[in-house]
Structure 1
């Protein structure tokens, strides 16, 4: 059966936590089913990542039950080649589906296209440890676009790629991804990994990134407070 490899998910998660300065993800109660990350964000205190939803649907049901019973705001993120089946399982557990259109994507960074930002935009690259942050500044010094990439071994995980609405459709997304890929390769990375929002999918695809799986995200039942 076609499935996304759990090791690929683990590699992405390892770099994602580094990119966001989060603690290393830990196994959930059922070993092998998934990993838990403490995000400490309002409405997203904990995130659980499914590792083998396609090959063992029962593992997803167990994770969904854990999220449904969680005492704090918890998300369940599921990379899958069977989004319809995943949606049925998380809905049966009483979870609320948040996104339906995110993709897990990979690329060979050594072959990544290169695009420089057009004038008057200027590039700023800052690297601290394993993490590089690229900022593209507009004519008044404002941050027009920003992105992060974390290098873990031969992998580089891109995260939080954002372009200010006032500066869109000017090639900044392409320039941003080029700069991140260049920095990652300079630090020894070969494979790029990311989870793409609906807005970013066309950009990444045009730059040679490949869709490996859909990514469904659900959250625990909303508890309404009294009063």
Structure 2
């Protein structure tokens, strides 16, 4: 494989925006280069996702220039099989690389391992429409781990898989992922999609998730509005 398919990125992004209750992403000005999502987070008002950085490097150059000129805090996320080339391009545009070692991953959910949490943890599963949230509660009442998955047709996008530092190394991440996969399959999903942080990659790999591409994430400087 010489590139990550743009349709795979689009499928992930559709589920990611649903999982986070964000508006549907829109095309950037240069049609086909990427998609823009309004995140409305402090320091991350807008995020731009590159669709064809590997097959057409000029498209990444255009996106990076647009992010560098943005007047709102804007991130640029680039799934790629050529992370070194991407990092050089975003640096040349004056962007700051925030993450250079994240992975775009997929999984066959039908065969996803299931792991029940051991005592003193109990599982709570809440589904509203296409979104399922799994929480693992300690007997003290605090949330020890949690995660979200959004199902759109045959795809399920996992997001915000978190374990409280005080409860790590107890298999809770595996229990959360297993419960999310089980809920997604029950809703008709077959393929899992996610972007894995460096910390989560070992967990997902151990559960059968496959690395499809690297992900480089950069941030542009804020350009002051002219008065």
Same-fold status (TM-score > 0.5): yes
Is 1:53 the counterpart of 2:48? The answer is no
Distance 2:211 2:133 in 1: 24
Aligned residue number for residue 98 of structure 1: 98
User: Shift in Å at residue 157 of structure 1?
Assistant: 0.1
Distance 1:21 1:124 in 2: 20
Aligned residue number for residue 129 of structure 1: 129
- 1:53 is paired with a residue of what secondary structure? coil
User: Shift in Å at residue 141 of structure 1?
Assistant: 1.3
User: Shift in Å at residue 107 of structure 1?
Assistant: 0.3
User: Shift in Å at residue 62 of structure 1?
Assistant: 0.3
- 2:193 is paired with a residue of what secondary structure? strand
- 1:86 is paired with a residue of what secondary structure? helix
Aligned residue number for residue 81 of structure 2: 81
Distance 1:33 1:153 in 2: 25
Aligned residue number for residue 218 of structure 2: 218
TM-score by length of 1: 0.97
Q: For each residue in 1:16-61, what CA deviation from the matched residue of structure 2 results, as whole angstroms up to 9, or x when unmatched? A: 0000000000000000000000000000000000000000000000
Distance 1:187 1:78 in 2: 30
User: Shift in Å at residue 221 of structure 1?
Assistant: 1.9
Q: For each residue in 1:110-147, what CA deviation from the matched residue of structure 2 results, as whole angstroms up to 9, or x when unmatched? A: 00011110111000000000000000000111100010
User: Shift in Å at residue 222 of structure 1?
Assistant: 5.2
User: Shift in Å at residue 100 of structure 1?
Assistant: 1.1
Aligned residue number for residue 186 of structure 1: 186
Distance 2:33 2:180 in 1: 32
Structure 2: any 5+ residue segments left out of the alignment? none
Correspondences of 1:5-84 after superposition (within 5 Å): 5-84=5-84
- 2:200 is paired with a residue of what secondary structure? helix
Aligned residue number for residue 148 of structure 1: 148
Distance 1:147 1:130 in 2: 14
Structure 1: any 5+ residue segments left out of the alignment? none
- 2:48 is paired with a residue of what secondary structure? strand
TM-score by length of 2: 0.97
- 1:185 is paired with a residue of what secondary structure? helix
Aligned residue number for residue 200 of structure 1: 200
Aligned residue number for residue 162 of structure 2: 162
Instruction: Report how many residues are paired.
Output: 224
- 1:198 is paired with a residue of what secondary structure? coil
Distance 1:141 1:187 in 2: 29
Contact 2:67/2:74 (<8 A) preserved = yes
